[in-house]
Amino acid sequence: MTTNAQTYDLSFLNKALLPAVIDELRYYASIASTNTEASRLIEQGQIRGNTLLLAEEQTAGRGRLRRTWLSDPHDSLTFSLAIHGDHLSVLDNPQMLTLVAAVAVTDAIKELAGIQAAIKWPNDILLNGKKACGILVEAVWQPPALQGAIVGIGINVGAKAVPTGTNLRYPPTSLEDACGFAVQRESLLVSILQSFFQWLPHMNEAAFRSHYQNHLAFIGEWVNIINSEDQSILSGQCMGISQQGSLMLQQTDGTMIHCTAGEISLRQNNHK
């Protein structure tokens, strides 16, 4: 795609991020998927620290449940953070990175746009009930060790990033549509990464879970958890997250169910 719009200010990003926040920045004008590329780099031993893969355009971006993520050049912020396994000694459950990433995005949106975002567990960010961001975390294993982890994030920043003709339960929106003004992508990226690495060592602490739950959508409400493989449904009152990052549902008889982040979707249930 050819356009005259402004591309990333890589000089600004290098000064803001290297070496204080990340160890390496790799920029791609166009790439199929930064998560796929990050996985390849980790498997080939080319990731030594925390490496940011930033793309102006992804032609085959991926989301959870084998969904695609569309990225509009110059209006989307799409990137992957590749983390070497040696930097994840604090991590017992790689999927906890999804929670850390979600908190980092909500923190950055609050800082730069002044609005409160909601986390639709486990990996979506909602603005006014509409989806503005998706997160995909993947682990790369070389049994029995964790070789590395990848945190992929896609955000609709500008209004032109919002795809048209969609018919979704949570329709797409952009940060610009929600706050009413343009947000600089570079500043948003820097804020996300700074918040991510500030929270990462504390993700197993009560303070992190409390902060996460302050942004959790549907907390205290009755919800359905739908398994995408067999379409089975679990219903209950959303009570928050466990120390392991699972969603806690309390059923009518008081039984507490812990839902893991696998192949499931969260939907609001208007009937108890």
31: pLDDT strictly greater than 80? yes
Q: What is the mean pLDDT of residues 226-238?
A: 83
As to burial, measured by CB atoms within 10 angstroms (0-12 exposed, 13-18 middle, 19+ buried), residue 56 is buried
Residue 64's pLDDT is what? Answer: 52
2: pLDDT strictly greater than 60? no
Q: Would you state the structure tokens that stand for residue 89, as one six-digit string?
A: 């000694």
Residue 271's pLDDT is what? Answer: 56
Q: What is the mean pLDDT of residues 159-187?
A: 89
* Reported confidence tier of residue 151, pLDDT bands at 50, 70, 90: very high
93: pLDDT strictly greater than 90? no
Q: Would you state the structure tokens that stand for residue 230, as one six-digit string?
A: 């067999």
Residue 268's pLDDT is what? Answer: 66
More confident residue, 232 or 128: 128
| Separation of alpha carbons 61 and 31, rounded Å | 9
Residue 100's pLDDT is what? Answer: 97
Q: What is the mean pLDDT of residues 202-223?
A: 95
Strand partners, 27: 54
Rounded to whole angstroms, the maximal C-alpha distance in the chain is 60
pTM: 0.92
- Where is average pLDDT lowest: 115-129, 207-221, 232-246? 232-246
* Reported confidence tier of residue 199, pLDDT bands at 50, 70, 90: very high
Q: What is the mean pLDDT of residues 173-202?
A: 97
* Reported confidence tier of residue 263, pLDDT bands at 50, 70, 90: low
More confident residue, 181 or 262: 181
Average pLDDT taken over every residue of the chain: 89
Q: What is the mean pLDDT of residues 247-263?
A: 87
| Separation of alpha carbons 94 and 155, rounded Å | 22
